[in-house]
Amino acid sequence: MSEFVQSLRDKINSRKKMTSRLYQTVLAGKASKHLLQNFVIHRFPIKNHWTRNILGIASRIPDHQLRVELVENVFEEETGHFSHSKRHLETFVDFGKALGVTQRDIDTAPMLPQTQAVIDHNVEACNTTVHFTAGVASVLLLMEGQPPVVSAGNQSMLSVMRDVYRLPPEGYEFFVHHASAVERAGGDHTAVSDLEEDHAETAEILLDTYCTTDELRIQAHRYLDRAIDRRHAHFDAIYEQFHDPAAEPFRYAA
């Protein structure tokens, strides 16, 4: 890994998802039904833009093979073709349905300003005339280059949804594809999902190949700083508006 890419990684690692109170609460198995419902409702809009953001990057990549890697990953996200599942966003909605959230609930919920700010950043970085490496650093690498999202008790999003919140298989399928795989890692904190690992590796290659001037590297850092700030403001908004410490932790009952 180049020194430049490592400097971006260091920023991501210093404010990883697990530094947020939202993810700490969810991974500790202490989230109420209300918090989990709003986790789905307010994370969905960002996930709904994800493939369009990545296609915006891919459309401007000169190298055919690197372009194909992103397009294939988007194809999997949109269809579930390679994993023999279904559209990944649909499995996220299924997670919501297990919590009593409908697609209409998601579609009609008022957009949090902090959610809109993340979407606005991602569109600007990936889908405008801003050099695509800004999007690679502040969207692709930030989202797919996260350290494993596991609790102090070594619970991943998959294991906590399955074993603690006791969701049915259709309720946790999204996390089969996207959660850190501590089971595969032999119980340690080292493994991330195959999809995220592939995306992150492609992002690193793209940055080393195309983000080669001082101007572009300064821009990449600036966009990453803004993305991290907005992302954590989004996490904090969900936590502060929908978490009640006195509420009972959710446990699924068929």
Examine the pLDDT at 209 and tell me if it is beyond 50.
yes
187: left (phi over 0), alpha (psi -120 to 50) or beta: left
Q: What are the tens digits of pLDDT across the range 76-107?
A: 999 999 999 999 999 999 999 999 999 999 99
- What does the pLDDT read at residue 152? 81
Examine the pLDDT at 176 and tell me if it is beyond 60.
yes
Q: How large is the average pLDDT for residues 217-242?
A: 99
Examine the pLDDT at 185 and tell me if it is beyond 80.
no
Instruction: Please state the pTM of the whole predicted model.
Output: 0.93
149: left (phi over 0), alpha (psi -120 to 50) or beta: beta
Examine the pLDDT at 201 and tell me if it is beyond 90.
yes
- What does the pLDDT read at residue 193? 54
- For residues 171 and 33, the answer to whether their CB atoms sit within 8 Å is no
Q: Where are the alpha helices (DSSP H) in the chain?
A: 3-14, 21-27, 33-58, 64-79, 88-98, 103-108, 113-126, 132-135, 142-144, 157-159, 169-178, 194-210, 214-242
Examine the pLDDT at 130 and tell me if it is beyond 90.
yes
Q: How large is the average pLDDT for residues 3-23?
A: 97
Rounded Cα–Cα distance for residues 1 and 5 (Å):
6
- What does the pLDDT read at residue 189? 45
The reply to whether CATH 1.10.260.40 applies to domain 10-242 is no
Q: What residues does each domain of the chain span?
A: 10-242
